């Protein structure tokens, strides 16, 4: 299926970015963001924006394509396999690895209780947005509602991480390594808390 191929290619580009990271990091950072628009890369991007080495608009725009493509491919896959996932059976082959039935089922229950707020908060968390997207597709969440919540979450999450990177760069310049380290731990803790909230909702579904 073409959608599976899209997700495989997306994952391969992320691995390629790791291999090429040393060469891209200093001279072609925007290309690194294009290939691997993850939170840790964007955190470094905020620091580079602070230093004037990278423009904020180009950094922001580079972070969108693969983030959006991966999530929408997962959403459409969830819709395509909704009937199979309703039965609770694991999907065969690579589809089963990308759409683990048990995790998707737990997230569908979260969506039933929290609605699109879960999609939005999922973007802010240390949590795979593709799983939430697949759960949204499988649960029948309307494309427009999903698009609004996911786009808002994506924009806020990019802004959040870049701003933290910018602030940490300023903290390093003013107060040195220790204050920067404390700030990084606090920022990571906030994103982890969002992820813990989602996992707590999943466990609550298991207890109901």
User: Residue holding tokens 């990271």?
Assistant: 21
Cβ–Cβ under 8 Å, residues 63 and 186: no
Q: Name the packing angle between helices 129-138 and 101-114 (round to 10°).
A: 80
**Domain residue ranges of the chain, discontinuous segments joined by +:** 2-207
Would you give the distance in Å from CA 9 to the centre of its chain?
Answer: 16
- Round the average pLDDT of the chain to a whole number and report it: 79
Range with the lowest mean pLDDT among 22-36, 68-82, 146-160, 186-200? 186-200
- pLDDT: is 85 or 169 the higher one? 85
Residues 2-47 pLDDT 10s: 777 888 888 888 888 888 888 888 788 999 899 999 888 888 888 8
Show Cβ contacts of residue 60 under 8 Å, excluding neighbours closer than 6 positions: 158, 159, 162
Helices and strands in the chain, H and E counts: 12, 0
- pLDDT: is 197 or 109 the higher one? 109
**Most confident of the following: 47-51, 172-176, 201-205:** 47-51
């Amino acid at each position: 299926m073409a959608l599976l191929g899209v997700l495989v290619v997306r994952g391969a580009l992320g691995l390629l970015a790791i291999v090429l990271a040393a060469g891209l990091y200093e001279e072609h950072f925007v290309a690194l963001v294009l290939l691997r628009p993850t939170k840790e890369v964007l955190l470094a991007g905020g620091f580079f924006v602070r230093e004037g080495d990278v423009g904020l608009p180009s950094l922001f725009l580079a972070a969108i394509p693969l983030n959006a493509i991966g999530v929408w491919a997962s959403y459409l896959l969830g819709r395509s396999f909704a009937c199979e996932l309703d039965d609770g059976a694991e999907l065969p082959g690579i589809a089963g690895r990308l759409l683990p039935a048990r995790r998707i089922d737990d997230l569908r229950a979260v969506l039933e209780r929290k609605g699109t707020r879960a999609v939005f908060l999922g973007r802010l968390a240390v949590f795979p947005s593709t799983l939430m997207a697949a759960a949204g597709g499988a649960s029948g969440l309307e494309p427009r509602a999903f698009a609004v919540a996911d786009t808002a979450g994506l924009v806020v999450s990019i802004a959040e991480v870049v701003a933290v990177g910018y602030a940490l760069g300023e903290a390093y310049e003013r107060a040195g390594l220790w204050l920067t380290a404390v700030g990084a731990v606090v920022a990571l803790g906030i994103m982890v808390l969002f992820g813990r909230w989602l996992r707590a909702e999943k466990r609550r579904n298991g207890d109901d």
